[in-house]
């Protein structure tokens, strides 16, 4: 039996359950597999994920990939938080394969996280890989640690952002990105009271 399986067995006992009960007999094995999958990002790097999928291209206009679903574990309670990521960058002669951006997001999400750090890590990784003129990242998420326990707020969501390069220094660039994300948020969640287009709704990161 692995250490994670041992931990799960002891946890079941601690909360008053019987690990030998039929429905729980294989729970430690499942828990072990689930935790390995949910924290697989520790064994990956952005460089490995991207590989040779960075291409030289004469492109200098903003590229936006929006509504990227992600799932992560809050490091404070080991409960899930999940939502959508929106990423934009302005190339400086290099672009990245489209599928690599969701892969980078998923890599960082598959670690114990706080949303603020996750947002910054995504922006920094893309900025460093592409040496882009600017990078913007916005995350919108719901946290089960707020919905299932504590305050038990069912309708609240958290919005964070990290801006790099021209997205931080050029208001026009930032506004274009924010507007695109806001329109996406309105289309997908018209009742959301905290829109990504509100610059003060997120957390501003400096270079």
Q: Which two tokens stand for residue 109?
A: 């999400």
- Sorted by sequence, the CB contacts under 8 Å of residue 147 that are 6+ apart come out as 153, 154
- Strands 63-74 and 80-90, by their bridges, are antiparallel
Query: Mind telling me the catalytic residues?
Result: 74-77, 115, 143, 145
């Amino acid at each position: 039996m692995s250490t994670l399986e041992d931990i799960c067995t002891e946890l079941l006992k601690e909360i008053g359950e019987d690990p030998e009960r039929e429905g729980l007999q294989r729970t430690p094995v499942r828990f072990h597999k689930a935790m390995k999958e949910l924290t697989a990002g520790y064994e990956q790097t952005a460089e490995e994920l991207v590989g040779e999928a960075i291409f030289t291209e004469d492109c200098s206009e903003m590229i936006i990939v929006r509504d990227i679903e992600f799932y992560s574990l809050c490091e404070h309670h080991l409960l899930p938080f999940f939502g959508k990521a929106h990423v934009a960058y302005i190339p400086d002669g290099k672009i990245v394969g489209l599928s690599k951006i969701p892969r980078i997001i998923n890599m960082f999400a598959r670690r114990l996280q706080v949303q603020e750090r996750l947002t910054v890590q995504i922006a920094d990784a893309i900025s460093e890989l592409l040496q882009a003129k600017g990078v913007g990242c916005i995350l919108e998420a719901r946290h089960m640690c707020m919905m299932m326990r504590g305050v038990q707020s069912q309708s609240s969501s958290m919005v964070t952002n990290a801006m790099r390069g021209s997205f931080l220094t050029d208001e026009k660039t930032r506004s274009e990105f924010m507007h695109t994300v806001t329109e996406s948020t309105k289309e997908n969640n018209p009742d959301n009271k905290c829109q990504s287009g509100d610059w003060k709704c997120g957390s501003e990161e400096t270079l």
